[in-house]
Amino acid sequence: MLINSENFSLNVADWPSLPNIISAEEFKNLPPNAKTCIIIEGMTRSGRYNQAQTMSEDLNLNCFAFTEWVEKYKPENPAEKSELDKSLKNGTYLPSELSVKIADWALEEFYKTVYSSDDFYNRPFVLAGYPRTIQQAAHFQQFLERHNTFALMAIIETNEAESKLRMIEKPVDRIGHETDHIPEVQMVKIGEYYLKTHGFLKWLELMNKATTFKVCIDKKDYNHRPGEHLSVIDRGDYVVISPADVSRMIMMFLNMVHFVNYSGA
């Protein structure tokens, strides 16, 4: 099986092993002083950034949001500026080489100025928006290995109906989202996710390197869940779990109850 994307073609058997992206059980068994991060991924407008921000604020964790660093990035030449403008306008992913270049700079700046600024800080940081492809994951593995850091991938699973609804009803003040309300842009963004990210996340899940948390639950299934008190939004056929409750679910799944207790979540 071959995966083709831009200038990239690779047999799945040759995909990188990503030893620093680990299973939930391995994550739970890391020593207390291990450097770690929790990657929040999922479909476009699944609430990745909102989820990462909620975890950051409620649990006092540093947050790396790739889109914020894209805004800070200064293109080195007209070609880079053109590629940035085109991708942001059309709703397509940045070219692989450019996204890795920006992330290489951004991750090191984040690590130097935010995450490692306190010698006694050993809490996880949360990360949204990167890595979203196998190329980006291979680069991210190098960053993790360089800083002796381990990552857990948490997939926030939503559905297309919720993704499109949020694009229409909940505009976000972030670069590249100005035209989310346009149906053609919605189709492009969801298509890009399925073309370049969905298979990558499913592969990580298959390799036991990712855990999925359902944000949208069918109404019938939700009504039959015993003993759970979740804050949800009722969409008719399904309900949407609040980011605070998803944070609690992730931390309790990881046996990190001390974070939940500390934050009062």
Residue 3 belongs to some domain of the structure: no
Query: Residue written as tokens 């940045």?
Result: 94
Residue 5 belongs to some domain of the structure: no
Q: How many domains does the chain have?
A: 1
Q: Which domain holds residue 109?
A: 20-263
Residue 1 belongs to some domain of the structure: no
Task: State residue 3's pLDDT score.
Answer: 38
Residue 152 belongs to some domain of the structure: yes
- Cβ–Cβ under 8 Å, residues 17 and 135: no
What CA–CA distances, in Å, run from 134 to 61, 74, 137, 213, 224? 26, 25, 5, 21, 37
- Report residue 22 CA to chain centroid gap: 15
Task: State residue 5's pLDDT score.
Answer: 41
Nearest CA to 155 out of 115, 122, 199 is that of: 199
- Cβ–Cβ under 8 Å, residues 232 and 225: no
Residue 15 belongs to some domain of the structure: no
Q: Which residues of the chain have pLDDT under 70?
A: 1-14, 117-121, 170-181, 226-228, 257-265
Q: How far apart are CA 143 and CA 214, in angstroms?
A: 29
Provide the whole-model pTM: 0.85
Please report, for the domain that includes residue 162, its CATH number.
3.40.50.300
Residue 128 belongs to some domain of the structure: yes
Task: State residue 9's pLDDT score.
Answer: 45
Residue 179 belongs to some domain of the structure: yes
Task: State residue 195's pLDDT score.
Answer: 93
